[in-house]
Amino acid sequence: MDDSRAALLGDGRAWAPPGRLEGLPPYPLADVPDIKARLLAEGRTVMDLGVGDPGLPVPEAAVETLREAVGNPALSKYGFQRGAPRYRQAIAGWLSRRFDADVDPDLEVLPVIGSKEAIALTAFAVLDPGDTVLIPDPGYAPYFGGPYFAGADVIRYGLRAEEGYLIPPDAIRRARGRLRLVYINYPNNPTSAVAEADYLQEVVDACREREAVLLFDNAYSEITFDGFRAPGLLEMDGGREVGLEFHSMSKTYNMTGWRLGWATGDRGLIGALRRVKTFFDTGAFMALQTAGAAVLENPDEYIRFNLDQLGRRRAAAVSAFRDAGLDVTAPRGTLYLWFRVPGQSTSEDFCRRLLIDSGVVLLPGSAMGPGGEGFVRASLAIPEDRWEEAGRRIQEAL
């Protein structure tokens, strides 16, 4: 057995990864943790703008509710797929207020362990080997991972600035093969592009024409600026029947590690995803779900606080990066800046060199797919008063 395919176990036996595992794309900058550790050992500070975590306070309602809920023995039992009734009802109430949609909390809401796992596992509920799937490139890893492991033919659509980083509805209509699944995500990670309601309606219509399921990752729906309001699938004519929409407590409420989210939409698809998940998990801790419910029952004050803080960071980041000579645009959505690599370096080489020379961590666009090559993502992950220093470090390194 080739050493490159072997991982030695404790008893000296060797294990070779299956071909499908070897077919996964490599992760750029896998050595970042080692570089960071070396810099810290040298007494240097590291500014991590690569992680998609706002680092803002968790809502007090979540913390206080969790303190009480962990003492309730009933909430320490298996939640299974239905989860805590209060959480499902709070989700339905939030969807009603936000999208003016009447949602059945029992049949049209599925609590999930963060939207990531549900986005990937839906592929197993929908796809047969040989089906085709259309995903954005660059894009979130589960859009590729779920269909890939389900044995589907994955079509990457390269997002382009001149198209507003949108997948054109005609690309759905013209997609090859037996198109079964389409992933979209707006406000978009990593490009920070946003989509208007008329575009989303056109995508819904195109998916209905192709009889394809639409999976709409709307995790950043509440992180928008300059008066923009992100649309939802439930607002579209036929949207509820064509697919599923995914939301997360992670970014909007700074609860990334709590792993709380939900899927909503077509009842048949909700049932299919619930059935698949039964073979993979037994639901999130119900005390956490109860804490999430407390936030969703009265979210407005925290969302205003969150957007105020992120808006200040956005302004400081754009100013600092422009002063450093980088061509950045203020995003209308998400907590990311997306910009071209200056010079001729690959995105990975640029980010590695910048980390070593400046101690600033950025995410190479190629980490989100080949379509991200030549671009870099920076997260609004540090306080407003630190962006000037980040910009100065980058400018000196460049």
The owner of tokens 């992760």 is 27
In this structure, which amino acid lies at residue 160?
R
Provide the angle, in degrees to the nearest 10, between the axes of the packed helices 85-99 and 286-296.
30
Contact 209, 356 (CB under 8 A): no
Cis amide linkage into residue 383, ω under 30° from 0 = no
Provide the angle, in degrees to the nearest 10, between the axes of the packed helices 387-397 and 300-323.
30
What are 110's strand-pairing partners?
Answer: 263
Neighbours of 357 (CB within 10 A): 13
What are the boundaries of each domain within the chain?
Answer: 26-52+301-397, 60-298
139: Cβ contacts below 8 Å, ≥ 6 apart: 159, 183, 185, 189, 368, 369, 371
> How many whole angstroms separate alpha carbon 184 and alpha carbon 167?
8
The pTM score is 0.93
Class for the domain spanning 26-52+301-397: alpha beta
> How many whole angstroms separate alpha carbon 364 and alpha carbon 371?
11
> How many whole angstroms separate alpha carbon 316 and alpha carbon 378?
13
From the list 396, 397, 310, 379, the residue with the least C-alpha distance to 339 is: 379
276: Cβ contacts below 8 Å, ≥ 6 apart: 121, 122, 124, 125
Contact 187, 332 (CB under 8 A): yes
Contact 203, 210 (CB under 8 A): no
Say whether domain 60-298 belongs to CATH 3.40.640.10. Answer: yes
Per-residue pLDDT of the chain (398 residues; tens, 9 = 90+): 444 444 444 555 566 667 788 888 877 677 888 888 898 899 999 999 998 998 899 999 999 999 999 999 999 999 999 999 999 999 999 999 999 999 999 999 999 999 999 999 999 999 999 999 999 999 999 999 999 999 999 999 999 999 999 999 999 999 999 999 999 999 999 999 999 999 999 999 999 999 999 999 999 999 999 999 999 999 999 999 999 999 999 999 999 999 999 999 999 999 999 999 999 999 999 999 999 999 999 999 999 999 999 999 999 999 999 999 999 999 999 999 999 999 889 999 999 999 999 999 999 999 999 999 999 999 999 999 999 999 999 999 98
